[in-house]
Chain A
Amino acid sequence: MAGVGSACLAVALLTAAYAAGASLYGARTGRREWVTSGRRAIYCIAGLCVLAFGLLEAAFLRSDFKFALVAEGSSTSTPTFYKVTALWATQDGSLLLWATLLSLFASTVLFLTRRSLRDIAPYATAVLGVVAGFFLLLMVGWENPFDTLANPPAEGAGLNPLLRHPAMMIHPPMLYTGYVGFSVPFAFAIGALVTRHTGADWIRATRRFALIAWIFLGTGIMLGALWSYTELGWGGYWAWDPVENASLMPWLVGTAFLHSIMVQEKRGMLKIWNVSLICATFTLALLGTFLVRSGILDSIHAFGASTIGVQFLVFIGLVIALSATLIISRLPHLRSEAKLDSLLSREAFFLLNNLVLVGLCLVIMWGTFFPLISEAITGTEASVGPPWFDRLVTPLALVLVLLTAIGPMLAWRRFTPAALWRVGWVPVTVAGVTLVTLLALTDAADSPASLAMFCLVAFVLAAVGQELWRGTVARRTMTGEAWPRALARLTGRNRRRYGGFLVHAGIAVLFLGVAASSAFVQQRDVRARPGDTFGVDGYQVTYRKATAKLGGDYSGTGAPISLGAVLDVRGKGKHFVMRPSRNYYATTDPSLGAISRFFEGEATSEVDVRWGLRRDLWMAIRPDIGSLQGPIREADRKFANSPTDVQAFIIAALADRYRRDPPPAAFRAIASPLVLWIWIGGGIVVLGALVAAWPSPEARLRRVRSLYSARLGQELSRA
């Protein structure tokens, strides 16, 4: 089976080379059959990758430890759900996931555009073939996921316990789909540059795919934050970790791209900027993958030294060089068709929003790579911490949220301040009222940045609400439809516009959660014995009793031992029970005793979160197993060679001992206001983006007509 898998990858690599070569040859010579053949070769790569992926997944599911990857990343005791995800927890497996997603995405796009963009598409096919080929080459040459072991072990090492979380099942595929998705508009942009057809055609053809990539990347980031909040045991959702930053940077530049292409579509401006943005987005997506896999920056995610760092750097360098050369050599073709009429116009504000987004990306990039920059300049490695990021990002984020509200209110080309005031006075009033109310009734003034953010959020929501209201009212007067129907029809007819509004509202809600939870979080670290009570943010938490569970912990991660606590929480008119625990995973380290290996392996916090719209109560426990050390050592000596069921019995006895006479345990309690709104906001953003991405019937008709007329024009000019 492993042989078949390796063969799949090798053939796919050759096919990728063929796809690139055939499309280029076809485009140069004008022989369509070669172009078609190149495109079909991409479908073929997709088929081979899916086959390889399936083979590897099957090996994980049947725990075939002949596969080195399975032996390293899975075990028979790993629950089935996590056997599936273990594939992309490994380096080789994640490369395979990248290649598979890329070839699937590329095939879909090339299939859908097979009848349009005849001049650009062959070059896009070649670019996609090269990118797919790069990842296949990495696997064939250095990191073959189908490596086999001469002496397969009886049991695998098991999936890293930290990755045993439902969000981890979907987080990497989402993120990768996002990264991969941006390769499509990149490929078409390169095609447009090569063929000098730098109008808005390539944008119209790939805009939707860029938006879909953006949705996936954003969802991946949100799920990563959720994982951090509920699994990592420190209680935060964002730490400015290099790998988090690596996923945020392409998302920010991608956001800028999605905005600025509208200016090119409407006004034929910003062409250089757009191709540069998409090239930057794709480069950053590659950089993100590289950062996770190379370990050049200290991060919790950086999984040790890797063998493919250099190859990645070379490829990123090539992408940058190719993009820059092409853009510079095509500068005469990238001239604007129009000039900026006024600074008071929607395009000017789009430009401003772009500068802020790219500025944000540059700040984050500078901070992320600062250890390398500082070492290059001063010779000592130094790093900037989260406070530095917070200080620089906060003002930019405030401006960004402000623009979120203003941008959609403005007219293209030019508007007068009086016109702006006509649409702006309601949101301004709402923001003002919010400010006064917050100052009078809450202590929000303790954090000026958060207070400003709250007002801006109110401003955005009011602006979006007003637009929806006006549109619905106008439609009702015209058609006499009922309210809900009018609203639905309105949105349906202008999906991009109203989907965009929804995205903006979602972003505002997200920032509401960020501002509230970062400034007004209350945290308490205590050591407590059963019977002790401690307070956090008006809650009285009583440690009622210790728990010890063997096998089958609450969250189904397959941990053999789970020590925890039952906590009684009273306060704010509520009374509930929380059960934080800590899972202990056995290690296969031979230097440890038969019993202690169950306690000395990996351990993970199983946080209990009481979710709430107003605030979350987050609870983690770190039991002190120091008092068990003596008995564990003794058991190691006595039962080293006992059968497993006796050892299981001993472990049960030890766990029981902990339950009956627990030493003080360390608790971390966090009361985080409005934090749930971060994910609710994220959900609204995704919903809005889906609305915007959904093709509307009129638009489809228009596109068919315009394509038809364009082709007719071409035929006529040829005749």
Chain B
Amino acid sequence: MDPSRKRKLRLVVALTAALLLATALIYTSFSASTEASKPSQLKPGRSYELTGEVVKGSISHRGDQLRFRVRDRDGTASVPVSYTGVVPDPFREGREVIVSGELERGTFVAERDSLVTKCPSKFTKDKQSS
């Protein structure tokens, strides 16, 4: 094979490989992703990544199970959550959480160990400074 055809061939092979990889990347990510949702937008029968704020006074323990309600960040709709597994240290009333699971009979049943709590934002300042 002469060098220029060889180079072209290499280029074609490389581009094909890159294209295949990109397709795999896009396909797997869209098929494996879970949709994020606010409590007010949950629909039963599919899994979500629920985001919102823990409602004040809603946290209770039953055996290994942690129960609390999550509220829309900018609204009042809320949903009860039942969760097992490790509870992140910053978890607390009024904090923003992310938890994956599925809505079953009105309760959001969370996957084990899926609870993430955002750090309290020590950096949002009340601009009282002069």
Is B86 a contact partner of A233 (Cβ separation < 8 A)?
Answer: yes
Within 8 A of A (CB), among B69-109: 85-90, 92, 98, 100
- For B21, the chain A residues whose CB sits under 8 A away are 359
Query: Known: A149-B129, A162-B90. Contact between A72 and B29, CB under 8 A?
Result: no
Query: Known: A301-B119, A380-B35. Contact between A370 and B89, CB under 8 A?
Result: no
- For B100, the chain A residues whose CB sits under 8 A away are 385
Is A370 a contact partner of B118 (Cβ separation < 8 A)?
Answer: no
Binds B, one of A54-62, A277-285, A387-395, A553-561: A387-395
Q: Is A398 an interface residue (CB 8 A)?
A: no
A contacts with B: majority SS? mixed
Is B98 a contact partner of A298 (Cβ separation < 8 A)?
Answer: yes
Chain A residue at minimum C-beta to C-beta distance from B93:
A600
What 1/0 flags go to A353-385 for Cβ under 8 Å of B?
000000100110011001100100000111111
Is A162 a contact partner of B64 (Cβ separation < 8 A)?
Answer: no
A72 to B126 CA separation, bound complex (whole angstroms): 10
Is B29 a contact partner of A367 (Cβ separation < 8 A)?
Answer: yes
How many chain B residues touch the partner (CB < 8 A)?
Answer: 38
Is A603 a contact partner of B89 (Cβ separation < 8 A)?
Answer: yes
- For A374, the chain B residues whose CB sits under 8 A away are 30, 33
**Chain A: minimal CB distance from B77 (Å):** 17
* Contact pick for B119, options A160, A370, A385, A387, CB 8 Å: A160
Is B121 a contact partner of A602 (Cβ separation < 8 A)?
Answer: no
Chain B residue at minimum C-beta to C-beta distance from A89:
B122
Q: Is A604 an interface residue (CB 8 A)?
A: yes
Q: Is A568 an interface residue (CB 8 A)?
A: no
**Chain A: minimal CB distance from B17 (Å):** 9
Chain A residue at minimum C-beta to C-beta distance from B63:
A527
Q: Is B32 an interface residue (CB 8 A)?
A: yes
Is A90 a contact partner of B122 (Cβ separation < 8 A)?
Answer: yes
* Contact pick for A383, options B34, B113, B123, CB 8 Å: B34
Is A68 a contact partner of B125 (Cβ separation < 8 A)?
Answer: yes
- For A149, the chain B residues whose CB sits under 8 A away are 128-130
Query: Known: A162-B90, A527-B64. Contact between A150 and B118, CB under 8 A?
Result: no
- For A298, the chain B residues whose CB sits under 8 A away are 36, 51, 98, 116, 118
Q: Is A534 an interface residue (CB 8 A)?
A: no
9 contacts between A and B (CB under 8 A): A68-B128, A73-B122, A147-B129, A147-B130, A305-B124, A381-B36, A383-B33, A388-B28, A622-B87
18 further A-B contacts with Cβ under 8 Å, apart from A89-B122, A527-B63, are: A147-B130, A148-B130, A162-B119, A233-B88, A233-B89, A234-B86, A234-B113, A298-B116, A300-B116, A303-B122, A304-B121, A304-B123, A380-B35, A382-B49, A385-B100, A391-B28, A392-B25, A525-B64
Chain A interface (Cβ within 8 Å of chain B)? 68, 72-73, 89-91, 147-151, 157, 160-162, 232-235, 295, 298-306, 359, 362-363, 366-367, 370-371, 374, 380-385, 387-388, 391-392, 525, 527, 600, 602-605, 622, 624, 626, 666, 668
